[in-house]
Amino acid sequence: MKPLRWLNIGVLTTAFLLTVGSSNSLKAGTFDSQEVNSDNFIAVAAPFGDDQYQLLIIEQRSNQRACWQEVGSNPAIVDPLLLNFDFTGICGRSTDSNGYSIRMEGQDLGLDYLLRIVERNGELVLVGTNRMNRQAPKVEIGTTQGLSNGNFLKIQLNPGWRFTRRAYQGRELGHIYLTSDTAAPVAPAMSTPPNPLPPAAPEPAPVQTEREFIFTKPTEENTPPSVTVPTLENPATSPQTLPPPSSNQTVPVLEQLR
């Protein structure tokens, strides 16, 4: 069974539609809900891409023609018959958060929770996940009670969940709620990561010790002895004795300071 073309187009425009849906839900607190005949609705796990699924809600608005057909159970395979005819006025469909959301204990959670289909333990599970706080508990709404790759599968709503319709000042709207009378789970406070420690200061460079040399004037007690050097005429036999320096002559002496 081939996936719906319009469903794939809806996937490509999800970001835009989420924005539109959010704008429609800005006054979610002012919306009411009206009870509906749940037999006229079905939640479907619709395949797209590589082994991925998204939520599709089909509504039977008229008895003129059937909008879907179910085959088997655990899981029940859904044949979306509305593909085969112009379903205007006969069938309704909701393919994204612009057309459906969660309502719990009379509160519209369209701005707080996203509806997702995840695979778990051999079945597909419809869950609501908090948009902002990943630590918040997930809300489990229904399961397919089995797998059948590549097919549209019916999502069996868990006990306590039902379909309702959004209403504003007594007027019915097209938006569909997945409704429960229980309260939404309390999300734990979002933990903020601790401030990073400042980088450690670099170790100071090792101090290099330097030795300084100065010249000092020699004293008379340190008068150097005379030095005998060979003369140029006969270096081997004619030594020449140099006189010691007079007391008035300054000879630098190299000393070491530590």
pLDDT in tens, 48-103: 988 899 999 999 999 999 999 999 999 999 999 999 999 999 999 999 999 999 99
Rank 5-19, 28-42, 158-172, 200-214 by mean pLDDT and report only the highest. 158-172
134 lies in a domain? yes
Distance CA 47, CA 215 (A): 95
190 lies in a domain? no
75 lies in a domain? yes
Number of domains making up the chain: 2
pLDDT in tens, 25-47: 444 558 999 999 999 999 999 99
Which helix (H) or strand (E) segment holds residue 30: the answer is none
Distance CA 88, CA 107 (A): 31
Which of 180, 204, 239 represents a domain boundary (last residue)? 180
Which helix (H) or strand (E) segment holds residue 94: the answer is strand 91-94
Segment 142-162 mean pLDDT: 96
Tell me, yes or no, whether 219 and 168 share the same domain.
no
Structural domain for 168, as ranges: 5-180
Instruction: Tell me which of 7-11, 108-112, 136-140 is least confident.
Output: 7-11
Burial class (CB in 10 A: 0-12, 13-18, 19+), 127: middle
Long-range pairs for 6-15: beta carbons < 8 A, 24 or more residues apart: 6/95, 7/46, 7/48, 7/54, 7/56, 7/95, 8/48, 10/95, 10/96, 11/48, 11/49, 11/54, 14/96
For 59, 67, 206, 213, 254, the CA distances from 209, given in Å and listed in that order, are: 89, 93, 9, 13, 19
Supply the pLDDT for residue 148: 93
Supply the pLDDT for residue 18: 39
Distance CA 152, CA 56 (A): 9
The pLDDT-based confidence of 196 (bands split at 50, 70, 90) is: low
Which of 180, 204, 221 represents a domain boundary (last residue)? 180
